[in-house]
Amino acid sequence: MNKSEIINIFNSIPLADTHEHLLEEKDRLKNPAYKGYNDIGLLFRQYVESDLIVSGMSERQADLIKDETIPADSKWKIIRQFWPLIRHTGYGMMVRETIRVLYDENDISDSNWKKINDKIAAQVKPGFYDHILKDICNIDHCQVNALDAPLYRKSERADFLMDLCVSRLCSDFDVMLVQNILQRPPEKLDDCIEAIDRSFMDFGPKSVAVKNPSAYRRKIDYNVRELNDVKQCFNHCREKDWQVNRLERKALEDFLVYHTIKKATESGLPYKMHTGYHSGHGTMPLHNLRHNAGDMSNLCRLHPESSFVFMHINYPHQDELIALAKHYPNAYVDMCWSWMISPLAAVRFLKEFLTAVPANKIFLFGGDVSLIELLPGHLELAKKGIVQAIAELLTEGWLAAYDVEGLLQRLLYQNAYDLFPVKRLKKTFTP
């Protein structure tokens, strides 16, 4: 079996996309906040911006690329200085693949940037989400973690299955959000629990998973806490009007995380956690990342009835994630975002994972983007990496040709249906 035969099998399978931050189409079309997005700067937002800055672009220049009052030719003059430096990174390749798939150009240069710029603007019209998701990407559904709503966003699409994001109710405790939910300030620990319970009551049945991205802001060393210590911690925070540092509120946050895990399990929802590499630039504390796998193993051991989905392959500590998923029946791995963080690390990871861990423990793709135009480029990178991993396993004799179709069907589609309430949510969708 050669690579093009593997690609044909890949293309024939509708894709269960397990992690996106996609905006709604109606907002891209009508919300004034996104009015200035639709020019050449669009391709260099979000992740790509970080590579540009790391390569030497100033923050001021990065801001100009996003500024709707700046003409597109001025933006290109800035971008072109740094593009040769980042065009070979995963983020840069994602841009080139997007340009190829969506705008029918092989690369971007002085001679064609204007043409691409015009095509970007022209494509943003009613129905462009369907065109990209269905016609181009063959996506069955996306799990979406909305960043433009505090907990949950109701979607206009039946194929957007939304996460319930709980971090601000527990591990990034936000007293104002709790107050909004309760319509009064929390006066005792039970009030914090009530805010969580209400959120699960309101959004749990409509959600596909629970999401906790707190690893961006703290270690995920959620310890078992004595109730009295937690109450004392709550009282201390309240007396200080919540002007407390992370250490002072840790006992409360740890305790509330456990409550969200309990509620997720009762609601039949997997608990997704950010692990490993941070988006952005100039801030990531690598010490914290080193401990993610050990901290995750504690959670898996203490909650054998709960299902955890660890995201982004815990890069650069992906080997430990293989050990975790192999050892714990309740540990699952989502390769979302990994194909553009480090495409070759993702290829190595997938090969090693498939020869060490049961095939139902992994989800292969989530674009992890807000702007839908960046999704096809990332998917092309993932496809290339997945096909390479499978082809190498075949050549090296770890996999037989007759395994490939069934395996890809499971990895790209079936696994998501088996773990998440996809079928129920798609059936009961009301616009």
User: Interior CA angle at 18 toward 418 and 99, to 5°?
Assistant: 145
C-beta of 288: minimal distance to Zn ion in Å? 17
Closest-approach residue to Zn ion (CB): 368
CA 423/CA 431 separation, integer angstroms: 16
Closer residue to Zn ion in complex, CB, 76/363:
363
Question: Quick one: CA dihedral 310, 27, 129, 111, positive or negative?
Answer: negative
C-beta of 53: minimal distance to Zn ion in Å? 19
Rule CB under 5 A: which residues touch Zn ion?
A: 368
3-state helix, strand, coil in the chain (%, to 5): 60, 10, 35
C-beta of 416: minimal distance to Zn ion in Å? 16
Closer residue to Zn ion in complex, CB, 90/186:
90
C-beta of 395: minimal distance to Zn ion in Å? 33
Residue type, position 113, single letter? W
Closer residue to Zn ion in complex, CB, 9/313:
313
Closer residue to Zn ion in complex, CB, 6/142:
142
CA 47/CA 51 separation, integer angstroms: 7
C-beta of 42: minimal distance to Zn ion in Å? 18
Closer residue to Zn ion in complex, CB, 98/388:
98
Residue type, position 59, single letter? E
Question: Quick one: CA dihedral 104, 108, 111, 113, positive or negative?
Answer: positive
DSSP reduced 3-state for 129: helix
Contacts of 90 (CB under 8 A, 6+ apart): 339, 340, 341, 342, 343, 381
For 230, phi then psi, to 5°, come to: -70, -45
C-beta of 21: minimal distance to Zn ion in Å? 6
Buried b (16+ CB within 10 A) or exposed e, 300-330: beebeebbbbbbbbbbebbbbbbebbeebeb
Closer residue to Zn ion in complex, CB, 25/368:
368
DSSP reduced 3-state for 128: helix
Residue type, position 282, single letter? G
Closer residue to Zn ion in complex, CB, 253/368:
368
Closer residue to Zn ion in complex, CB, 117/167:
167
Contacts of 131 (CB under 8 A, 6+ apart): none
C-beta of 260: minimal distance to Zn ion in Å? 18
